[in-house]
Chains A and B, each alone.
Chain A
């Protein structure tokens, strides 16, 4: 896309330095734990050591004797106000604090309110709880067996642990196509639980002003407006009305999906503040964050594609068991309990597909939120990209050739997939070919053949993913009934500077910069002259928040639409000032001029001033606009990644030697920020591919519950990412842009897994589940007799 604005204006395409950075590099950000209010109290939480147990007694006497401890809040306390249970985003129910039993290790059992952080912690340690252990169900397949202990005894009619069955696609046609296929392969794939582990944990400061009856909550939330409505709906019966609730989402230290849900800690802090009339701070520690906050993934997938002998993919059948923990607290659009998993036909033009998913309860924390991924797309991409490789190898085809043969072709867009999605635009072969050139694919193949002859283990893996982001069109997308539009409100001041507010909330994505650039592009006002605000529900327009790579597709589009409304009014004012007909005016960013008389012109700043000082009679003063943008479709970013790994035959360690990522997110707003998103996304793709997993032993003890054993990659493990892009604009987005924040997280794990399997294929290895840890590989090497001495 050619630049339309000068660096001074910094519209789209400029690598403008970020407006948020001056405060962050000085340590002057405002994160929730930085807030200290007079008289503030602190909350600490007592958590269960058992994964499933009856609570027989909670004794608070010793805790209350700790100096500074004011109260111990239990499920019984909250039950007096009917606040001990709350609804989840998927209309299931979740305990705030238990009155009967706990359902997972580290579940909240009681909360201690004290005058200091340390006193609260002392109090929590002094609360005595008696438990009676109950049988624990960890394996979701066993949870479905007849005779398995029924976990949700709170649901009167519940006789098993099955939550829901969901299926999509044409089952009969798919079965037929697979029966008629020349070649089929079948593979079980487990995509384990992972945790986003943003470096800032979750927390809040709740302050109920008893005089004005107004609740203000500063909280780590990616969706402040939806949270306000949820609070009003859940706590309306205790007098919290929506106009008396203000949610402020301050600077957020990373979100990645983990800061979408409402966690019990928030609700307890709010309840404590309402009861005491004092500000109450709750900040979880890292172990609480890893052990109790919502998890992502945990999908047990069985996939079976069919193909013709000539390498044409014909069909895909997928069955999945989804482990949701003890409640379905997924953050999905209501209509899609398995998220957008049915984008699992990926980048390929196959005619028949069917996918079914069964949700299951186990004794684990609630799962099913994102890990920097748009509603289960990582699961979908991992499956189709692993299966594409398996099928290519099975057919004796090069995985790149196999992909090129089966890609949806550029001329097929808009493309209706077998599972009903309408892909907006793409050039999949373009991205793959660029990646192959950049990495030197043919040369690497030769090197691999030489190395293999010498006994060295080198693998090359491809992932050609299609993302689906920007939820979403109101026809299909809502959360708890709230349609998934997003918003922008712009006010141009008399001196030509502006403020714009949005319904989204940045957690590091750089919205203050990119939104300003969109407005600079559309209005010609320099981006530095436009202040961007988000996250305060008292001032910002309503929106559904930032997750699932939706900010550019929804709120970014709203910015363009609102700016164009301003441009329309500006044209009328310019016509008035220039005494010309509106139709005779020509717009270029920042100025209207009279057709054929370019010296007769008015700048946007002059027009803004006139809007308050010299507006035409009969026109309202001011220069403002708002847009609530309902996207006509999702956007479908895509890319091709190629990864080269070397495997140490002595230790089983996988080393990513090179990784080339070619991404296409349509028109680019800020190339520096887009590249930064790709770098970060790739690292969060590397992490679950090789290092991260939250697992449980047979009695539900969490493994990986601290940074000691939950291995977030450091700079040493992380390779030097090589990036590039192609540009295929979205035809329906006002700026031709698509989301980009999660592409790399979604696409990277399959490239790494495919490279590892490629390195071991000649030994007979067909699949390795992620994370591909040294012990897993070491065992494979030992079993295949190729362990180095």
Chain B
């Protein structure tokens, strides 16, 4: 099937099998390997991307379902050489170790912070409950979300 998608603002066309998973389109056809695969049951969230601004787990979405839609991946966070505050905060707060879950966490966080300007710790913990991290124990990820929220608020003011 011939599909057109937009990914991080760039338009692409691809001829795909109807069963091709979105994560494989992103990683293997479009060669954006920042989006990772950690399970096949929608539990780990390593493959989280935004589809028309909403976080989805791209291991359980078909590529054809993204037809004519806007995909955003971790590679789209940095704009004009400037990192997103969430990326800066993950580095500053040591919110990552092996880095494998990080892109999924960042994409979940990007969508969450767009809607929640001043989230509580509990809000953040629930927001990332679909993203597993085996390294950090989540403490510093929560801190990174809080720091990024403060930064975004300041930027908006």
- Do A and B originate from a single complex? yes
Nearest A residue (CB) for B78: A26
- Residue B120 CB within 8 A of the other chain: no
Are A199 and B44 neighbours in the complex by a CB distance under 8 Å? yes
Q: Mark B27-68, 1 if CB is under 8 A from A, else 0.
A: 110011111111111011010000000000000000000000
Given contacts A26-B75, A253-B36, A508-B97, contact A21 B41 (CB under 8 A): no
Are B140 and A252 neighbours in the complex by a CB distance under 8 Å? no
**A652 CA to B40 CA, complexed, in Å:** 31
Per a CB cutoff under 8 Å, which of B38, B41, B130 touches A708? Answer: B41
Q: Mark B66-81, 1 if CB is under 8 A from A, else 0.
A: 0000000111011000
Are B98 and A198 neighbours in the complex by a CB distance under 8 Å? yes
Per a CB cutoff under 8 Å, which of A199, A673, A682 touches B98? Answer: A199
**A535 CA to B149 CA, complexed, in Å:** 37
- Residue B117 CB within 8 A of the other chain: no
- Residue A434 CB within 8 A of the other chain: no
Cβ of B51 to closest chain A Cβ, rounded Å:
17
- Specify which chain B residues have a CB less than 8 angstroms from the CB of A764 in the assembled complex: none
- Residue B92 CB within 8 A of the other chain: yes
Q: Mark B91-108, 1 if CB is under 8 A from A, else 0.
A: 110101111111100100
Are B78 and A21 neighbours in the complex by a CB distance under 8 Å? no
Given contacts A254-B98, A684-B134, contact A721 B139 (CB under 8 A): yes
Given contacts A25-B102, A254-B100, A680-B134, contact A286 B139 (CB under 8 A): no
Nearest B residue (CB) for A286: B39
Cβ of B58 to closest chain A Cβ, rounded Å:
13
Are A21 and B38 neighbours in the complex by a CB distance under 8 Å? no
Of the 9-residue stretches A308-316, A612-620, A711-719, which lies at the interface with chain B? Answer: A711-719
Are A199 and B100 neighbours in the complex by a CB distance under 8 Å? yes
- Specify which chain A residues have a CB less than 8 angstroms from the CB of B37 in the assembled complex: 33
Are B99 and A253 neighbours in the complex by a CB distance under 8 Å? yes
Are B141 and A715 neighbours in the complex by a CB distance under 8 Å? yes
Cβ of B148 to closest chain A Cβ, rounded Å:
12
Are B24 and A26 neighbours in the complex by a CB distance under 8 Å? no
- Specify which chain A residues have a CB less than 8 angstroms from the CB of B139 in the assembled complex: 679, 720-721
Are A712 and B132 neighbours in the complex by a CB distance under 8 Å? yes
Q: Mark A403-417, 1 if CB is under 8 A from B, else 0.
A: 000000000000000
Query: Considering the complex, which residues of chain A in the window 367-417 have a beta carbon less than 8 Å from any beta carbon of chain B?
Result: none
- Residue A676 CB within 8 A of the other chain: yes
Given contacts A24-B99, A510-B97, A714-B129, contact A676 B44 (CB under 8 A): no
**A197 CA to B133 CA, complexed, in Å:** 10
Are A20 and B125 neighbours in the complex by a CB distance under 8 Å? no
- Specify which chain B residues have a CB less than 8 angstroms from the CB of A680 in the assembled complex: 97, 134-137
Nearest A residue (CB) for B75: A27
**A679 CA to B138 CA, complexed, in Å:** 8
Are B128 and A21 neighbours in the complex by a CB distance under 8 Å? no
- Interface residue total, chain B, C-beta cutoff 8 A: 59
- Residue B19 CB within 8 A of the other chain: yes
- Residue A256 CB within 8 A of the other chain: yes
Are A118 and B134 neighbours in the complex by a CB distance under 8 Å? no
- Specify which chain A residues have a CB less than 8 angstroms from the CB of B17 in the assembled complex: 118
- Specify which chain B residues have a CB less than 8 angstroms from the CB of A683 in the assembled complex: 134, 136-138
- Specify which chain B residues have a CB less than 8 angstroms from the CB of A507 in the assembled complex: 98
Query: Considering the complex, which residues of chain A in the window 661-687 have a beta carbon less than 8 Å from any beta carbon of chain B?
Result: 672-673, 675-676, 678-684
- Specify which chain A residues have a CB less than 8 angstroms from the CB of B98 in the assembled complex: 198-200, 251-254, 507-508
- Residue A168 CB within 8 A of the other chain: no
- Specify which chain A residues have a CB less than 8 angstroms from the CB of B135 in the assembled complex: 254, 508, 676, 680
- Specify which chain B residues have a CB less than 8 angstroms from the CB of A22 in the assembled complex: 91
- Specify which chain B residues have a CB less than 8 angstroms from the CB of A286 in the assembled complex: 38-41, 44
Cβ of B67 to closest chain A Cβ, rounded Å:
19
Nearest A residue (CB) for B46: A199
Nearest A residue (CB) for B96: A24
Are A199 and B137 neighbours in the complex by a CB distance under 8 Å? no
**A179 CA to B17 CA, complexed, in Å:** 73
Cβ of B32 to closest chain A Cβ, rounded Å:
7
- Specify which chain A residues have a CB less than 8 angstroms from the CB of B46 in the assembled complex: 199
- Specify which chain B residues have a CB less than 8 angstroms from the CB of A229 in the assembled complex: none
Query: Considering the complex, which residues of chain A in the window 682-733 have a beta carbon less than 8 Å from any beta carbon of chain B?
Result: 682-684, 706-708, 712, 714-716, 718, 720-721
Contacts beyond the supplied A31-B36, A34-B27: 8 A-B pairs with Cβ under 8 Å: A17-B92, A21-B90, A27-B35, A251-B98, A683-B137, A716-B125, A716-B126, A720-B142
Q: Report A's interface with B, CB cutoff 8 A.
A: 17-18, 20-29, 31, 33-34, 36, 117-118, 196-201, 251-254, 256, 285-287, 507-510, 672-673, 675-676, 678-684, 706-708, 712, 714-716, 718, 720-721
Q: What are some 22 contacts across the A-B interface (CB < 8 A)?
A: A24-B102, A26-B34, A33-B36, A117-B24, A198-B100, A199-B38, A199-B134, A200-B98, A200-B100, A251-B98, A253-B36, A254-B100, A287-B40, A676-B136, A680-B136, A680-B137, A707-B39, A707-B41, A707-B43, A715-B124, A715-B133, A716-B129
